[in-house]
Each structure stands twice: as structure tokens, then as C-alpha cells.
Amino acid sequence: MTRPPRTLLIAVTSACGLVAAVIFLHALPEVTATCGLPPLDTRPFWTRTEAIELARACDGPGIAAYTRLALLDLLHPALVAGTLVLWVRWSRSPRPRAAIAVQTIIVLGAVADYLENWTVWTFLRGGPDLATSIPLTVGGGFSLAKNVLVLLGVLAAAVLILDAMRHRALSRRAARET
């Protein structure tokens, strides 16, 4: 597995941090303040009933704030996945199959996040009838899948990176002793 350029690693990680900061420090609190309820994206699981309740609570400014959050959330899953995948690749794990499995979990987490985003855009558009909207029916499941996969991806990436560091340290020690 080839190591990505350090500048790419730094650029993607910085962009991820910047977008996350704007989302968590500005966009999420703005939606919560204008709608009176937390956005669907922040809930580990949600139902169509909760989405309809949020739709009723959000007026024009609330929908505008939520739209700004949703636009930022078009970047966030790709940046998080890109950051994690680049760090896994940069660590040059001695376990290539494990590295591929971890990267797959990370990408699946991003896919689940984009599927949840699709349901949020359905919510924002209003559609003809939110009460029977299929995306809002399955959106909570996408949210749960996103949360589980992203958590597993982050933890597995951390374990793999730490294992690669341990392996390199042991290899250096063995080389010095010979």
C-alpha cells in the first residue's frame, strides 16, 4: 500500500477539521436555535414522526438554517472518510487485508451518511406528503448505520495506526540489537 503525500494528508485533515468546526460550532446550534429541536443529523436514530415534528417546528428561517447545514454536510462525509483512509494508508500497516477492511468500513460509513443526507434533503424539500415519504421512513435506519459504521471505522483506524506504529518501533529495536 503506497503512502499518500504528506501535503495531501495535511490538506484533507485540515479541511475536515475546518468544515467540522463550522458545522459543530455554528450550523448545528443555529438549526437548534431556529427550529427549537436538534437536527436529524445529530440523532443516533430518528423516526418519520420525529422528522415531521421537526418540519412543523421549523419555519422559514429554520429551514434556511437547516439548508445551510445540509450544504456543509455534503462535504463532511467525504472529508471524514478521506481523512481516515489517508491516515490508514499513511500508517503503512503491516496488515494489508485489515487495512483494506478498515477502509471499506470507513467508505460504507460515508455512504450511509450520504443516504441519511438524501433523507434530510427530502425533509427540507417538503415534498407532496411528508407523512408517507419513504425516505423519511428509512432515514433513521441510515442514521443508525452511519453512526455504527463511522464509530467502527474510527476505532478500527486508530487500532490499525497504533499497531503500525508498534510494529515499526519493534522493527527498529530489532534492527538496533543486531
Give SS3 for 98: helix
Domain range holding 66? 7-175
Q: Which is nearest to 71 in space by CA: 44, 103, 39, 48? A: 39
| Structural domain count of the chain | 1
28 is a domain residue: yes
Predicted TM-score (pTM) above 0.85: yes
Say if residues 123 and 51 touch (Cβ distance below 8 Å). Answer: yes
Per the listing, cell 443526507 goes with: 117
**pLDDT tens digits in sequence order for the chain, 178 residues long:** 677 888 999 999 999 999 999 999 999 999 999 999 999 989 989 988 888 888 888 888 999 999 999 999 999 999 999 999 999 999 988 999 999 999 999 999 999 999 999 988 887 777 556 667 788 889 999 999 999 999 999 999 999 999 999 998 998 888 888 7
CA atoms of 133 and 19, how far apart (whole Å) = 30
Q: How many CB atoms lie within 10 A of CB 80?
A: 21
Query: What does the pLDDT read at residue 14?
Result: 98
1 is a domain residue: no
CA atoms of 170 and 152, how far apart (whole Å) = 27
Query: CB burial class (10 A; 0-12, 13-18, 19+) of residue 2?
Result: exposed
Query: What does the pLDDT read at residue 16?
Result: 98
2 is a domain residue: no
134 is a domain residue: yes
34 is a domain residue: yes
Lookup: cell for 49: 414522526
Query: What does the pLDDT read at residue 71?
Result: 94
CA atoms of 30 and 8, how far apart (whole Å) = 32
Query: What does the pLDDT read at residue 114?
Result: 96
CA atoms of 50 and 26, how far apart (whole Å) = 23
